[in-house]
Structure 1
Amino acid sequence: MESYENLLAAVTTPDGGRPVTDPATDEVIGRAPERGTDDLERAVAATRAAQPAWEALGHEERSRLLNAAADAVDRSAEALAHLISREQGKPLNGPGSRFEAGGVSAWLRTAAATPLEPERVLDDESGQATLSYRAAGVVGAIGPWNWPALIATWQFAPALRMGNTVVMKPSEHTPLSVLALAAIVNQVLPDGALTVLPGDGDLGAAMAAHPAFDKITFTGSTRTGRAIATSSAGNLPRLTLELGGNDPGIVLPDADPAAIAEDLFWGAFINTGQTCAALKRLYVHQAIHDDVVDALAEVAARMPMGRGVSEDSMLGPLTTADQFRIVDNLVEQARAAGGRLVMGGAPDRDAPGHFYPATLVTGLPLDAPLVVDEQFGPALPIIAYTDLDEAITQANALDVGLGASVWSSDVERAKQVATRIEAGTVWINKHGTVHPMVPFGGVKGSGYGLEFGVEGLKAVGVPRVIAA
């Protein structure tokens, strides 16, 4: 098994480059190379040259190589997990960096194993027609900083399986994790199949506008997603945009507060709230509002926050100083608006690192910034309601729709409510749990296109109909 020190040394540059810090301590852990447009041109040329041979290998051989890449990830999983914890901040344990490294392997294996057979769409006296999918060509993937290695895998694994080659730009905040993942899987993959170019937003903009890309996939903010859609319009690459969300949860009056409290907590506070499809605003029926708040507070109080590499931590720091400021400002505005801070809301602003305590806020108006703006951090507004129709209206009021959830002891009743919520996924009695075979994507300002499973393979392919 590769050590953390060796893995880090393999992806850092000794001189120059962008310093990468541990968000728990502000310590520089390494330096990432910074690539520019000349590097992009070379990468595009190499990946385009490699693509026909990679596609010609066929599904069976490409799947074999993806499974071999997953084996390589498994051998280096502990080193990769430590690097993620040091760079991004999430704890090793719980739904943290070991979970993320395991997810990388699982998604690689699922991309390899998922069948995508030609579909006979017409077969009668008028004729026959068959729908199949071929590789798009060269895929440009632009990733986020919150789940850097896992979301990178969501982007490149299905693309490679379908016969595409990939140029990937990780977030400038977490380049080392993605460089390390590429170094691991490229022990197995042929040259030119997967290239990682660390760089800033200008490099991402250049990728979005580059005519060589047949497909662009992006995970990040709605604002940047709109910019990518605009800048890519001249070239008309296919797009998958998984953008920001402000996921609502609705707790019906028959729910059991004690039974749902821990799942509610992790739905909201996984990765210290830094997850696109985390629960970000919670509407609870007045009859059980106080009981749900108390149960949530009890769970939150026993979740230790600390350095990601500590075996005891369950919550870590926010990844960037900017994200700390966003959460801090939203909570202070909530305090000024008369919100009641049940717990949290008092960070040590002078201490090293970007630690913001788990925070629960009640009593806010429906239009409070903490409710209507995506906080992307460990601060959950809890809003009491009496009329279910009004709660559903409020859940649908924002121009985002990535995920949502309904909580009830009556699953069939919860499913009925779920059909009225405008979101790409509505979970019942859980929130944000993704599965490599279940399609995932958003609506409205949360983007378009699907990832995972059969639909995820189709999204990085090009349909072809043969009719006779």
Structure 2
Amino acid sequence: MTTNSEMLIKGKKVTGQAATFDVLNPATEEVVASCHAATEAQLNGAISAAQDAFTSWQYTSDEDRKAMLHQIADKIEANAAELAEIVVHEQGKPMFLAQAEVGGAVAWTRYAAELDIPVEVIEDTDTKRIEVQHKPLGVVGSITPWNWPLMIAIWHIAPALRAGNTVVCKPSELTPLNTLRLIELMNEVLPAGVVNVVLGGGEIGGAMSEHQGINKIIFTGSTPTGQKIMRSAASNLKRLTLELGGNDAGIILPDSNIDAIAEGIFQTAFLNMGQTCAALKRLYVHDSQYDEVCQKLAAISEAQIVGHGLHEGTTFGPVQNRMQLNKVIDLVEDAKQNGAKVLCGGAKPEGAGYFFPPTIIAEVTNGMRIVDEEQFGPVLPVIRYSDVDQAVEMANSCSVGLGGSVWSADVAKAQQVAQKLECGTAWVNGHAEVLPHAPFGGCKMSGFGVEFGQAGLLGYTQPQTININK
């Protein structure tokens, strides 16, 4: 597979002048591409290009921005097969999931295109009119992770453009290739400099966070990195949207039909091999159903076909990188040493690739690392509880609060319990369902600000009150 590894600044391909880094295929550990990181001078050039483009882009009409976003969606659609293959090679997920990621990117772009920016009229009398308008912020810095590299780039960039901002994007150095291709496609539609992409690791992300020429940072990733960004952003009081780590709890109420929900539990816990911020990561089950739930989840896990994402029949791919794989292995070994029971999986298979089978761990409690720490991988700990208040207390005894869920045959009762969860999104009889029209964000140490819907769009704007004396 041949891939572009050059950055795009002011509409032109640019080779980074800093250190070279390799992009690996996590299924084979082979090099997919070698890339050059940006220097600080090149980052400055990208930000200057975005600033220059903003002087005119901010005044483009709603109709023109909508039309261009739909043209970008057309470009993604026309290149869907190529983009999905790149995702599989650098991220590792099975092809059907990569295709879903590309399809989601198209749908999100079209949804963002059709969003309207409201004008709120506060007063309109014979002598006075007061209205609130929403103006673009300027240059938006987008820093994206390696788990859903194409989708999250669209989540960041499309609403930024719709609101009239320009963008400098830095993808994860582990999965930069599909983002490079995406920005290349965008530049076939947009004026030069409206969207730029630079490559590099934490040093470039840190420089973006501190840079006086960036007016907003949107970041998806770990809580410690989000804290660093927040400290750096104080330099010019950048606006921030931080979607940080989660350790989502699910609670199965004792009236649940386990046969009806077991597959849903599995799929939302192991979505993208568990490498999803809002995946179900801790499952609380009543004593009366504990053994049944564990057995059914183990059976579904053992039916998965673990392998290369391009191989026919594969349902479960590798962990994306060696560091994350080692963290998963460490947490599982710690659980074993503390008396947990591994019902299935639990060990890396022989051979190349960062594979780890879906793993169900029973007889665990709050206080064990496997429960208290976000594993961000293919492992689900299942915890017993004896009454619902106890389950809610255990679910909430966590420093993060991205998502949570309650599963029950009684929807009204489940909603009552769900409202007690300390998280940004609470699902009933589902989990990890992120939708373009529903605001999504975290509380506590899972960050602040929301993405999606009109609330997400307005996060890319500055309100301005216009007070008119007639």
Q: Calculate the TM-score normalised by the size of structure 1.
A: 0.95
Query: Which SS does the other structure have where 2:58 is aligned?
Result: helix
Deviation for aligned residue 1:114: 1.3
Alignment partner of 1:39 is 2:11: no
Secondary structure of 1:311's aligned partner: coil
- Counterpart CA distance in 2 for 1:455 and 1:103 is 20
Q: 1-side partners of 2:16 and 2:171: how far apart? A: 20
Q: Which amino acid aligns with 1:193?
A: V
- Any residues of structure 2 matched to 1:87-126 within 5 Å, and which? 87-93=90-96, 96-122=97-123
Q: Indicate the residue corresponding to 1:407 in structure 2.
A: 407
Identity of aligned residues (%): 44
Match of 2:27 among 21, 24, 29: 24
Q: 1:52 offset after TM fit, Å?
A: 2.0
Change in 2 beyond 3 A, CA 1:231/1:365: same
Instruction: Give, in angstroms, the shift of residue 14 of structure 1.
Output: 12
SS at match of 1:168: strand
2:374 counterpart residue number = 374
Q: Is the counterpart of residue 131 in structure 1 residue 124 in structure 2? A: no
Where in structure 2 are the equivalents of 1:195-214 lying within 5 Å? 195-214=196-215
Q: Aligned equivalents of 1:408 and 1:424: distance in 2?
A: 20
Q: 2:72 is matched with which residue?
A: 69
Checking the alignment, whether the CA contact within 8 Å between 1:396 and 1:422 is kept in structure 2 is yes
SS of the residue aligned with 1:83? helix
* Equivalent residue runs for 1:310-321 within 5 Å: 310-321=311-322
* 1:357-387 Cα distance to aligned partner (Å, 9 max, x none): 1000010122100000000000100001011
> Residue type of the partner of 2:367?
D
1:251 aligns with 2:252: yes
Aligned to 2:62: 59
Deviation at 1:42, TM superposition (A): 0.5
Q: Offset at 1:10?
A: 7.4
Change in Cα spacing, 1:374 to 1:14, as seen in structure 2 (3 Å) is closer
* Aligned-residue offset at 1:17: 2.9
Residue 184 (structure 1) shift: 1.7
Q: How far apart, CA to CA, are the structure 1 residues paired with 2:100 and 2:3?
A: 19
The code of the aligned residue for 2:24 comes to T
Structure 2 counterpart SS, 1:121: strand
In the TM superposition, residue 298 of structure 1 has moved relative to its aligned partner by 2.0
Structure 2 residue matching 1:56: 3-state secondary structure: coil
The residue number in structure 2 matching 1:288 is: 289
Distance in 2 (alpha carbons) for counterparts of 1:320 and 1:280: 19
- Superposed, 1:69-468 pairs within 5 Å as 69-93=72-96, 96-122=97-123, 128-348=129-349, 350-468=350-468
Partner Cα separation in structure 1 for residue 22 and residue 348 of structure 2: 25
Q: Point out where structure 1 has 5 or more consecutive residues left out of the alignment.
A: none
Aligned partner letter, 2:395 = A
**Match for 2:74: what amino acid?**
D
Contact 1:32 1:176 survives alignment (8 Å): no
CA contact (8 A) 1:10 1:180 kept: no
How many angstroms apart in 2 are the aligned matches of 1:32 and 1:453? 35
Mean alpha-carbon deviation: is it higher for 419-428 or for 49-58?
49-58
Task: Map Cα deviations across residues 136-167 of structure 1 (whole Å, 9 max, x no partner).
Answer: 00001111011011101100100011110000
Residues 441, 449 of structure 1: 8 Å contact kept: yes
Letter of the aligned partner of 1:407 in structure 2?
Answer: W
